[in-house]
Structure 1
Amino acid sequence: MQLKKINTFEKNKSLGQHFLNDKNILKKILNIHEDLTSGTIIEIGPGMGSLTKEMLNKNAKIIAVEKDIRLKESLLILKKSWPSNLELIFGDALKIDIPNLGNKPRRIIANLPYNIGTELLVRWLEKPKSFSSITVMLQKEVAERVIANHKSKNYGRLSVLSGWHWNAKLVFTVKAKSFNPPPKVDSAIVYLAPKKEPVIPVNLNTLSKVTHALFSNRRKMIRSGLRKIGDPDIISSTTGIDISKRPQQLTIKEFCKIALFIEKKIK
């Protein structure tokens, strides 16, 4: 099978295209998973199908979502060779109901486009019951924020949203030279698996608003950020949270308590 050569394809910068062309990295990604044959694998941004092909060789059933119609020819070559294992959707992943594609167990394995990777991940984190795991390539600095622990320098909004209902780990880093064209920064593979229960049951959309309000001023006391969503003193007296803390000093549980307060106030 001859796929169109990666180095001759004109990449679209607006789509955040950086094609992974290191076979050793592709194999390491697949080695994270013992079995790819059950359920559905969802791949966002398959590009020319390098990772797709490796997964198909493992007898995976894949739904691949690609926005760049110029890649249709290359992907249809794979479809022809694995007609029953590969479904292609040409469209914008941000406009597609990813959590309801295919059959369970539903897993995401993808080298996400840099320009929409974080936004997609945040949406999926809201649906822990929809996925058995999420394995994605992200910019290294973004990956470090996803897995950061309380009080660490990288702890932020993504850390809270992922830690709320997911176990996350950075599996390995990937040098920029492994991509074509090479991005300006290194990348990393992050693996997320849903916890049986969240830290505290809360609406993730509300939790997201709380984290956004507080981490937008991470050097200031949370009193400042809380003014955007309520009365800081009432929130403090109700939740028992010290509003002289900085946001990076709050635990995920404390963020959830603030979100619960906001939800009750709305009701």
Structure 2
Amino acid sequence: MTLLGPAEIRDLAELLNVQPTKKLGQNFVVDANTVRRIVKVAKVAAGEQVVEVGPGLGSLTLGLLEVGASVVAVEIDTRLAEQLPRTVSLLQPDADLTVVTADALRITELPGDPTRLVANLPYNVSVPVLLHLLENFSSLSAGVVMVQAEVGHRLAAEPGSKVYGSPSVKAAWYGAWRTAGNVSRQVFWPVPNVDSVLVAFERRTDALGTEDERLTTFRLVDAAFQQRRKMLRQSLGQILGGSQAATDAMVAAGIAPTARGEELTVHDFLAIARKIGNVTEASAHDDL
């Protein structure tokens, strides 16, 4: 046996006195077929360096190691982080595992240069964790994450979709996203009260813009979707010094001021961000 089953997972939880909590979004995968499916969808290859966030009791970790990957597992729970190497040494003694005990939202360095992210992400922090990792680890070129269905569909949504929003645009800054299959609630312990999906991504080969442009674009995106039913000249006006300033920037970017955030691509928001400085400088010059 190289993977964990339901009985082994419950035994480990009892050994560690671990009670899965909603606060940490802990729902452990107890089905080996689902684990192997995730690894296959993620196209993990032998010798590849993979980072996993929230390995928990090690279900997915063992699946990644089973195909010969080198895994860096980031775990915030000290008990789980200390047990994981022991579990792996028993079931796959020759596997290449490194455990980092840390909050995934705060890490800025990892051993090696992981090229793929594969994780069962806690529901409550899935989007912030994804964006943080993609921003801080440029070596990550692709991956698959299991997230709450609602979150997954938002990440993969296209402009015009009812679920298209801030996460959709920010994720698109880094690459292309798609849903890659549904996951039954029954493969988790405890059984969650939400559905889950797999979401796959591939990073852009070239960055869209500079770090300053990213920060400005994300500010615009946040403003646009905080009041998604309003026209952008109104919602963006709150951070650009008024609706006229927003209108000027949008017109300069070739975007209708009457548009709404749900209609714009990440490229559209970036175009507006790039015009803000020009419009501001022109206005200041006119006032002289």
Whether TM-score is above 0.5 comes out as: yes
1:1-267 map, 5 Å: 3-5=8-10, 8=14, 9-81=18-90, 82=93, 85-97=96-108, 100-104=109-113, 106-126=115-135, 129-198=138-207, 200-202=208-210, 203-230=213-240, 231-262=245-276
Q: Tell me, in whole angstroms, the C-alpha distance in 2 between the residues paired with 1:251 and 1:151.
A: 9
Moved over 4 A (4+): 1-4, 263-267
Residue type at the aligned position of 2:159: H
Query: CA-to-partner distance for each residue in 1:213-260, whole Å, 9 max, x for gaps?
Result: 101111111112111221222213322211111111123221111122
Change (3 A) 1:248 1:72: closer
Shift of 1:10: 1.0
More helix by percentage: 2
Shift of 1:134: 2.3
Query: CA-to-partner distance for each residue in 1:50-106, whole Å, 9 max, x for gaps?
Result: 111111111211111111122245313135344660111122111211xx4233452
Task: Give the conservation status (yes or no) of the 8 Å contact 2:50–2:116.
Answer: yes
Say which is worse superposed, 57-66 or 121-130, in terms of deviation. Answer: 121-130
**Whose RCO is larger (CA < 8 A, sep 6+)?**
1
Secondary structure of 2:275's partner?
Answer: helix
Q: Tell me, in whole angstroms, the C-alpha distance in 2 between the residues paired with 1:266 and 1:44.
A: 42
Shift of 1:128: 7.3
Counting aligned pairs with the same residue, the percent is 33
Task: Give the conservation status (yes or no) of the 8 Å contact 1:125–1:161.
Answer: no
User: TM-score, with normalisation over the residues of structure 1?
Assistant: 0.89
User: TM-score, with normalisation over the residues of structure 2?
Assistant: 0.83
Give the number of aligned pairs. Answer: 264
Say which is worse superposed, 256-265 or 134-143, in terms of deviation. Answer: 256-265
Task: Give the conservation status (yes or no) of the 8 Å contact 2:62–2:88.
Answer: no
Shift of 1:14: 1.5
Q: Cα RMSD (Å) of the superposition?
A: 2.4
Say which is worse superposed, 71-80 or 254-263, in terms of deviation. Answer: 71-80
Residue type at the aligned position of 1:201: G
Task: Give the conservation status (yes or no) of the 8 Å contact 1:42–1:63.
Answer: yes
Segments of structure 1 that go 5 or more residues without pairing to the other structure are none
Greater Rg over alpha carbons, structure: 2
Task: Give the conservation status (yes or no) of the 8 Å contact 1:41–1:108.
Answer: yes
